[in-house]
């Protein structure tokens, strides 16, 4: 049974809601506050502005649950184009890319889908390495965790710099962190953005936070490179205290936050000497991403509902 922690995430699966919302222009306030634009040029522009503020970036070409090969290949092309542009502008030292396997073939209904996603991911990893940067595999809902970690293991044989993502809300995550906290292993820790069943995930926010702290301890005490992805001020403070308790020098871990969320805090941490990376999503397929962000911030809902009503 899906956990109704976030009814909006359930509503988001309705194709009527998707049709209505997807026709909003990207320039409309609520979309623009989370997504800087739909093309490579606007993504690169956003990165350049972040770099001017002392931040680094990870870019996500939006798309997920892609059901056909042409669209999956188009997504790979978009990443290659982005990496070329970043390289031309000398930005790859400051920017890596985040990739969802379901956008590059994992969700194609065919027995060979895993192979398509793996080959596509390899193509992006190769281009990223040639451009002097890295890839992180985003984590999607719990039905994909094992497959994503299996692809990660394969990729890391040739591209050990490939980053993983662990979602603290899942019961399994502390054990996954243990397995991944080895030298050279880049691991992003987030709370988790999907509506998950209680059989596999903590339902209560306090339990998710406790799990987040347990995972933080494993990653910060370990040998890898933790990427602490949260906007939660308590988690940020706890992470900083744990980093110092475990003797972590600055630069041996980083904070990550999403584009448009707590931008002043991102700059403040960077000004204090912390490494801070902003996750920059861009592209035309912003619907799923926007709905997850709205579900996290109920205060946005009234504003969002008004913009929808004005369209009907
Ligand atoms: C860099 C990065 C990468 C991520 N990658 C993944 C991934 O691969 N897979 C995945 O499942 N999830 C991912 N997430 C999302 C993550 O799992 C959470 O859903 C999201 O970060 C909200 O959790 P939080 O830790 O910020 O804490 P919360 O307790 O949700 O929020 C703490 C505070 O942050 C602010 N805030 C949080 N969300 C919003 C919002 N939408 N709008 C405005 N303010 C907000 C509010 O002030 C809030 O009180 C990622 C998050 C980040 C920052």
* Cβ contact 186:222 at 8 Å: no
Q: What is the pLDDT of residues 148-185, one digit of tens each?
A: 999 999 999 999 999 999 999 999 999 999 999 999 99
Residue nearest to atom 27 of ligand 1 (CA): 232
CA-proximal residue: ligand 1, atom 35 (nearest): 231
CA atoms within 13 A on the CB side of 79: 34
Share of the chain above pLDDT 70, in %: 90
In this prediction, residues 258-272 reach a mean pLDDT of 97
Q: Please report which confidence band the pLDDT of residue 212 belongs to, taking 50, 70 and 90 as the band edges.
A: very high
Separation CA 250–CA 244 (nearest Å): 9
What are 90's two structure tokens? 């000398």
Looking at the predicted structure, is the pLDDT value of residue 231 above 80?
Answer: yes
- What local confidence, expressed as pLDDT, does residue 11 receive? 67
State the closest ligand 1 atom to the C-alpha of 235, by its place in the atom list counted from 1: 25
Supply the pLDDT for residue 309. 59
Cα distance between residue 167 and residue 297, in whole Å: 18
Whole-prediction pTM value?
Answer: 0.93
Annotated catalytic residues are 138, 188
Ligand 1: which residues within 6 Å by Cβ? 138-139, 165, 167, 188, 190-194, 229-232, 256-258, 261, 279, 293, 296-297
Judged against a pLDDT cut of 60, whether residue 310 lies above it is answered with no
Q: Is pLDDT above 90 for 127? A: yes
**Residue 95, helix vs strand vs coil:** strand
Residue bearing the bigger pLDDT, 291 or 4: 291
Q: Residue 1 contacts by C-beta under 8 Å, 6 or more apart in sequence?
A: 197, 198
DSSP conformation letters of 176-237: HHHHH-STT-EEEEE---S---TTTB--SHHHHHHHHHHHHHHHHHSSSEEEEE---HHHHH
User: Residue 25: pLDDT band by 50, 70, 90 thresholds?
Assistant: low
Predicted local confidence at residue 3, as pLDDT: 45
Bridge-partner residues for 258, per DSSP? 279
**Token duo for residue 144:** 């994909």
Compute the distance from residue 34 Cα to the ligand 1 centre, in Å: 12
Longest dimension (CA), the chain: 57
Distance from the CA of 198 to the center of ligand 1, in angstroms? 20
CA distance 109 to 160: 29
Average pLDDT over residues 205-233: 98
Q: Give the sign of the dihedral formed by CA 15, CA 17, CA 18, CA 23.
A: positive
Position 17 pLDDT exceeds 80: no
Helices (H), the chain: 7-11, 15-22, 29-32, 40-52, 69-88, 113-131, 145-158, 173-180, 205-221, 233-245, 263-271, 287-296, 299-309
Tell me: pLDDT of 304 over 90: no
Q: Say whether 105 sits in a helix, a strand or coil.
A: coil
Q: How many Å lie between the centroid of ligand 1 and the Cα of residue 30?
A: 16
């Amino acid at each position: 049974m899906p956990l109704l922690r976030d009814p909006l995430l359930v509503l988001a699966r309705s194709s009527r809601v998707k049709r209505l919302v997807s026709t909003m222009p990207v320039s409309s306030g609520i979309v623009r506050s989370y997504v800087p634009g739909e093309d490579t040029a606007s993504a690169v522009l956003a990165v350049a502005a972040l770099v001017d503020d002392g931040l680094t970036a990870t870019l996500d070409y939006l798309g997920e649950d892609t059901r056909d090969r042409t669209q999956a290949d188009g997504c790979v092309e978009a990443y290659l184009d982005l990496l070329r542009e970043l390289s031309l502008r000398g930005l790859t030292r400051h920017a890596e890319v985040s990739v969802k396997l379901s956008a590059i073939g994992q969700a194609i209904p065919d027995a060979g889908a895993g192979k398509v996603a793996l080959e596509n991911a390899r193509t992006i990893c190769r281009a990223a390495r040639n451009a002097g940067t890295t890839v992180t595999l985003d984590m999607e809902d719990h039905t994909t965790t094992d497959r994503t970690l299996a692809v990660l293991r394969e990729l890391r044989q040739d591209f050990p710099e490939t980053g993983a993502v662990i979602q603290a809300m899942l019961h399994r995550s502390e054990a996954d962190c243990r397995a991944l906290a080895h030298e050279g292993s880049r691991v992003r820790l987030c709370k988790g953005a999907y509506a998950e069943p209680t059989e596999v995930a903590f339902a209560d926010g306090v339990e998710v936070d406790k799990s987040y702290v347990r995972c933080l301890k494993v990653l910060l005490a370990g040998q890898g490179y933790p990427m602490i992805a949260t906007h939660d001020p308590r988690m940020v403070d706890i992470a900083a205290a744990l980093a110092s308790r475990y003797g972590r020098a600055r630069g041996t871990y980083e904070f990550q936050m999403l584009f448009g969320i707590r931008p002043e805090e991102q700059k403040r941490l960077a000004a204090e000497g912390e490494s801070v990376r902003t996750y920059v999503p861009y592209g035309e397929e912003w619907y799923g991403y926007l709905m997850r962000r709205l579900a996290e911030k109920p205060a946005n809902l009234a504003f969002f509902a008004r913009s929808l009503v004005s369209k009907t």
